Amino acid sequence: QLQLQESGPGLVKPSETLSLTCTVSGGSISNSNYFWGWIRQPPGKGLEWIGSIYYTEKAYYNASLKSRVSISVDTSKTQFSLRLNSVTATDTAVYFCARHHLISYDAFDIWGQGTMVTVSS
């Protein structure tokens, strides 16, 4: 069945760029019924939607992060990626990638296991 797996550095220095990739296996990232999203969770805190992308490369972002975030998709590699620049300690979090439905936009039905990213010098 479809699986998602996050990968990337676990430690990023302040002011640098956080880069993560989510690899989709067992299914197509070009499925027209779904968006692919990034969600993060600071230690001991709640979930925050970062943004989502469609296979056509159309992306949507959380307004509070929009100036610093970029999400891209590579259908040939069945991957989508997150870049968050000018990071600070407040960007320390577990980052999840997840699939959600085109129509039932709220339904994040498949999640990766999450990857912890710490921002520290």
Question: Radius of gyration of the chain from Cα atoms?
Answer: 14
Report the alpha-carbon angle 43-15-70, nearest 5. Answer: 80
In the complex with another protein, which residue's Cβ is closer, 13 or 58? 58
Give exposure, 43-55, as e/b (b: 16+ Cβ within 10 Å).
eeeeeebbbbbbb
Q: Counting Cβ atoms within 10 Å, is residue 38 exposed (0-12), middle (13-18) or buried (19+)?
A: buried
Binding of residue 107 to another protein (CB under 8 A):
yes
Q: Using DSSP, state whether 5 is helix, strand or coil.
A: strand
In the complex with another protein, which residue's Cβ is closer, 12 or 98? 98
Given the rule CB under 8 A, which of 11-19, 25-33, 76-84, 95-103 is the region that contacts another protein? 95-103
Binding of residue 62 to another protein (CB under 8 A):
yes
**Residues 26 to 55 in contact with another protein, rule: CB under 8 A:** 37, 39, 45-49, 52
Beta carbon of residue 62, minimum distance to another protein (angstroms, whole number): 7
Q: Which residues bind another protein (CB under 8 A)?
A: 37, 39, 45-49, 52, 60, 62-63, 96, 98, 100-101, 104-109, 111-114
